[in-house]
Amino acid sequence: MHALYVFSVWLHILAATVWIGGMLFLVLVIVPWLRRGGSSDAAVFLRETGERFRNVGWACFVILAITGTSNLWARGVRLSDFTRAEWLQSPFGKMVIVKLSAFLLVLLVSAAHDFVVG
């Protein structure tokens, strides 16, 4: 069981790293490089790169949701804990709520960007 938990944590960190690293690479490397070049193909390149990374990003979200749930379960957290005031007020409970809220916010913003704004 411990090896499975360690693998789940590793996979969780890997998915977060791939997603955040990919976003930073697009924003800090690709976009400035394309703006400096002035090529007419820049918009096409950026759109195609973004569309390809979209699949990677959504795969990372799925992995983060599955491994995050698995990691909480392995640590003894159950769904009923989210209704218990003493758990919600604990430092661990507060941290879980903050991370879960941030994850849901990023998920909503990403969905709006990918499926509404484009």
Residue whose token pair is 């400096």: 36
- Give yes or no for residue 113 having a pLDDT over 70: yes
Type of residue at 113: H
Q: How far apart are CA 42 and CA 82, in angstroms?
A: 47
98 near 88, Cβ under 8 Å? no
> Residue 1 carries which DSSP code?
-
The range of the structural domain enclosing residue 18 comes to 2-117
Q: Note the pLDDT of residue 80.
A: 96
This model's pTM is above 0.85? yes
Q: How many domains does the chain have?
A: 1
Per residue in 32-87, pLDDT (tens digit) is 888 887 667 777 888 888 889 999 999 999 999 999 999 999 999 999 999 999 99
Task: Report which secondary-structure segment, H or E, holds 105.
Answer: helix 91-112
